[in-house]
Amino acid sequence: MSKTSFRMKHRGASLLMIVLSGFLILSMLSAIAINVASQITHNEIWRGKGTMTSRLTHIARSTASTVAEAIILEPEYFGDAAAIENGVFSEKTTVIDDPETGILNEVEVKIQGVLSIVVFVTVTAYEQDKYRGVTARIDMKATPKTVRWSIKK
């Protein structure tokens, strides 16, 4: 059997191999592109959540700091000693409402403690279904008055 008779019988085999090889290479490149795109999307979602958490922590801590400063300057600013011992609570208050970005942040404040010893200011910041809480512990006996922080997740 000569080479010419083989080529005559299987003329489309080389074309078929070229097409199949091209399809295989195209499939691999598509799989790589899809994998890269999904990793980028996953990374962007992760960064967005981190930004939200940072924003909520900052809002809660700023609010708690402002309330703590008010208590240090004027201890009965939020009520008399008996009211603060029982706990002073606020309703959810909107602090950021940006319809352009869709960001809506609310805070809730709770003040409780003994004015002559220690006062706890707990602030919870909310955005959608996420929240971040910060507690400021004000040592009223110390001079100068000191504030210690803790974060609840």
pLDDT tens-place string over residues 104-118? 889 999 999 887 888
Q: What is the mean pLDDT of residues 66-88?
A: 84
Omega prior to 99 cis, within 30 of 0: no
pLDDT score recorded for residue 34:
95
Q: pTM of the predicted model, to two decimals?
A: 0.65
Domain boundaries, the chain: 3-152
pLDDT at 76: 79
Query: Looking at residues 27-53, what average pLDDT do you find?
Result: 89
Mean pLDDT of 115-122: 87
**What is the C-alpha to C-alpha distance for residues 65 and 148, in angstroms, rounded to an integer?**
10
User: Encoding tokens for residue 43?
Assistant: 């990374």
What is the rounded average pLDDT of the residues 46-58?
Answer: 84
Mark out the alpha helices in the chain (DSSP H runs): 3-9, 13-73, 81-86
Nearest to 105 by CA among 131, 126, 90: 126
Predicted confidence band of residue 33 (pLDDT cuts 50, 70, 90):
very high
Q: What pLDDT, on the 0 to 100 scale, is given for residue 135? A: 92
Looking at the predicted structure, is the pLDDT value of residue 131 above 60? yes
Cβ within 8 Å of residue 86, ≥6 positions away: 112
Query: Distance between CA atoms of 142 and 111, rounded to whole angstroms?
Result: 19
Average pLDDT of 84-105? 83
- Residue 2 pLDDT greater than 60, yes or no: no
Question: Per-residue pLDDT averaged across 41-58, rounded?
Answer: 85
